[in-house]
Amino acid sequence: MKDEALEHEPASCDAGQDGPVDLQSFLACLERVGNSPNQVSVQHLIDAIGSRSFGPMILLPGVLAISPLTGIPGIATAIAVFVMLVSGQLLLGRDHFWLPRWVLQRSVSRGKLRKSLRLLQRPARWVDKVVKSRLRVLTSRPAHFVTALLCILIAATMPVLDLVPFANTTAGLALTSFALSLIARDGLLFLLALGFCTGILWFILELLVF
């Protein structure tokens, strides 16, 4: 039987193009990487999705933050650094993103990656059915800079949120929503991401109070 994780063929896994066009295509690109090396590094994942488009570059850490991989020590910190660097470079006007070698060399086993991706397949199918182009003013070029600033703020909270169970999942959902809003030009997802940001703020206030 054909592997369920590969049923949705990626629209683009070519780093020279704009990258995957929906969440299932994105996961399929990562799945193909997971079929190759025993240890899959961040560099392998970036090579699969491309490094010239802000949406896929933020979707990658967002998806990783949602997955069980954040339970691996150091992954949450690497995700936070990744998001800050990519978002900061967007604010500086760069369209080709640089990351330090220690982030690119962070890796997970192929088995853990594939298992995590399989858990996301069903939600991805549902998400792709409801995502569409709407409220495009919220995903216009000027809005990219607002999204970048918010992503930096989310990343800054991630090491602290690691102290609260499932809090970084909320951060991952916010990053994923922001990224998909840019990829699909879906302003409603931008508003949803703002809702997740409110949840993150609530987690931070809870930590400060207690």
Instruction: List pLDDT tens digits, range 28-46.
Output: 888 888 666 788 888 888 8
Q: Are 25 and 10 in contact (CB under 8 A)?
A: yes
The CA distance from 4 to 182, in Å, is: 27
The residues of the chain scoring below 50 in pLDDT are: 1-12, 15-17
| pLDDT score, position 29 | 84
| pLDDT score, position 10 | 42
Q: How far apart are the first and last CA of the chain?
A: 51
Q: Are 83 and 150 in contact (CB under 8 A)?
A: no
| pLDDT score, position 20 | 65
| pLDDT score, position 32 | 83
Q: Are 155 and 113 in contact (CB under 8 A)?
A: no
| pLDDT score, position 13 | 54
φ, ψ at 77 (rounded to 5°): -65, -45
